Amino acid sequence: MDLDYVKNAVDSVVREVSKAVIGYDLEVRLLFGCLLVGGHVLVEGFPGLAKTSLAKAFARTLGLSFSRVQFTPDLLPSDITGSLIFNPRVGDFEVRLGPIFANIVLADEINRAPPKVQSALLEAMQEGQVTIAGKPHELPKPFMVIATQNPIELEGTYPLPEAQLDRFTVRIRLSYPSEDVEFRIASDIELGNVNLVNTVLSRDDIVKMQSLVKSVRVDDSITRYIVRLVRGTRSMRDVKIGASPRAAQTLGKLVRAWALINGRNYVIPDDVKQLAPYVLNHRIITVGTDPNIVIRQLIQQTPTPLMENVIRRT
Ligand SMILES: Nc1ncnc2c1ncn2[C@@H]1O[C@H](COP(=O)(O)OP(=O)(O)OP(=O)(O)O)[C@@H](O)[C@H]1O
Ligand SMILES: [Mg+2]
């Protein structure tokens, strides 16, 4: 395997996205990692932080089908999944597949639609299929949902149920840019124009990279470390409900993709440290403390596997 294959691919995606949206290189790499493991991403942030632009620009770099659904209070589940419609020419009903039948689906402002609509989307994400008028329809592959939402305290929103947050591989919280980045946003009038972003990867490239993830080596000490972190969330102070085994499974997969993205075919402890906050932050329910603070403490107090051992054995 050419180790630079995935690394170069990600670098080109990062380069293209930055023609339209700047300051989110790490976030683009995370999106890419999730794509490689067949995962879904929740992007959270205040209005005007370029959530929508980031998702659109990322999707444009990929030679995949793309659709965007703007979630609104009056949306119906069938507006996403599809429905039976009467075709007067044929004199019969036929299935019209909804916008969820695309490789990359941008579910924009997901918390502005009522729970019924949200759960139609989340069910499809979990099952990889949609039932329309009693008949199952397979979703395309690759399939990835990028959902955006404003922080849930904002008025007129329906917070996603905790149980459903677990379906997202990672939650990425965007924060305000640095002064330098904001200076460029203010001065470069072309920024924000996603039409400047070129497609740099084909569907075949992406499918091939997805299959490489399985060949990445993970030492048992790394897996043990992942399990300790996930289990650790359940006994931290201020945590009401900790992370599930699904979190352990997700982190176990995502670190493999992360190794490839960084030009390695084996996972190192730092991969776990870097990714754990993104994988865990939406899967633990705390009382009064920011989950990210709890996770930082957890990482600090959990013994890290020895790098020498990891490298010697992998
Ligand atoms: N980091 C950035 N790089 C480039 N443009 C940016 C950046 N941050 C904000 N902008 C600009 O701000 C505008 C808002 O972006 P966008 O609509 O994607 O934000 P949003 O987070 O989806 O907002 P909302 O929550 O209101 O939907 C765009 O014109 C975009 O170009
Ligand atoms: Mg938006």
pTM for the structure as a whole: 0.95
What is the distance in A from the centroid of ligand 2 to the CA of 109? 7
CATH number at residue 98: 3.40.50.300
Whose alpha carbon is nearest atom 30 of ligand 1? 192
Based on the domain organization, do 14 and 128 belong to the same domain? yes
Tell me the pairing of strands 82-87 and 92-97: antiparallel
Tell me the pairing of strands 82-87 and 129-132: unpaired
Q: What is the pLDDT of residues 208-227, one digit of tens each?
A: 999 999 999 999 999 999 99
Tell me the pairing of strands 144-149 and 41-44: parallel
Give the number of domains in the chain. Answer: 2
Closest ligand to C-alpha of residue 20 is 1
Based on the domain organization, do 61 and 107 belong to the same domain? yes
Pocket test for ligand 1, best of 53, 54, 189 (most atoms within 8 A of CB): 53
Based on the domain organization, do 50 and 63 belong to the same domain? yes
Based on the domain organization, do 8 and 31 belong to the same domain? yes
Based on the domain organization, do 25 and 159 belong to the same domain? yes
Based on the domain organization, do 179 and 253 belong to the same domain? no
Which of the listed residues 171, 186, 213 is the one where a domain comes to its end? 213
- What pLDDT score does 81 carry? 95
The three-class DSSP label of residue 252 is helix
Alpha helices in 46-96 (DSSP H): 51-60, 77-81
CATH number at residue 240: 1.10.8.80
Based on the domain organization, do 151 and 228 belong to the same domain? no
Q: Which residues surround ligand 2, an ion (CB under 5 A)?
A: 51-52
Does the C-beta of 189 come closer than 6 Å to ligand 1?
no
Does the C-beta of 185 come closer than 6 Å to ligand 1?
yes
The residue count of the chain comes to 314
- What pLDDT score does 159 carry? 87
Q: State how far the alpha carbon of 31 is from the alpha carbons of 68, 138, 293, in Å.
A: 16, 23, 23
Beta partners for 106?
68, 146
Q: What is the pLDDT of residues 115-164, one digit of tens each?
A: 999 989 998 998 999 999 889 999 999 999 999 998 866 677 888 888 78
Residue 81 is encoded by which pair of tokens? 């999944």
Based on the domain organization, do 50 and 16 belong to the same domain? yes
Which of the listed residues 197, 213, 229 is the one where a domain comes to its end? 213
Half-sphere exposure (CA, 13 Å, Cβ side) for 238? 12
Based on the domain organization, do 281 and 234 belong to the same domain? yes
Residue pair 200/61 in contact (Cβ under 8 Å)? The answer is yes
Q: How far apart are CA 174 and CA 17, in angstroms?
A: 16
Q: What is the DSSP letter of 217?
A: B
What is the distance in A from the centroid of ligand 1 to the CA of 116? 28
Does the C-beta of 22 come closer than 6 Å to ligand 1?
yes
Whose alpha carbon is nearest atom 29 of ligand 1? 192
List, in order, residues 6 or more apart from 298 with CB less than 8 Å away. 229, 232, 233, 236
Which atom of ligand 1 is closest in space to residue 193's alpha carbon?
31
pLDDT in tens, the chain (314 residues): 577 899 999 999 999 999 999 999 999 999 999 999 999 999 999 999 999 999 999 999 999 999 999 999 999 999 999 999 999 998 999 999 999 999 999 999 999 999 999 989 998 998 999 999 889 999 999 999 999 998 866 677 888 888 789 999 999 999 999 999 999 999 998 899 999 999 999 999 999 999 999 999 999 999 999 999 999 999 999 999 999 999 999 999 999 999 999 999 999 999 999 999 999 999 999 998 999 999 999 999 999 998 777 777 66
Q: State how far the alpha carbon of 8 is from the alpha carbons of 71, 261, 271, in Å.
A: 35, 8, 18
Based on the domain organization, do 142 and 227 belong to the same domain? no
Which atom of ligand 1 is closest in space to residue 56's alpha carbon?
18
Does the C-beta of 146 come closer than 6 Å to ligand 1?
no
Does the C-beta of 53 come closer than 6 Å to ligand 1?
yes
Range of the domain at 289: 216-314
Does the C-beta of 25 come closer than 6 Å to ligand 1?
no
Q: How far apart are CA 285 and CA 242, in angstroms?
A: 7
Based on the domain organization, do 67 and 196 belong to the same domain? yes
Which of the listed residues 174, 198, 213 is the one where a domain comes to its end? 213
Based on the domain organization, do 54 and 130 belong to the same domain? yes
Whose alpha carbon is nearest atom 24 of ligand 1? 47
Q: How far apart are CA 253 and CA 137, in angstroms?
A: 27
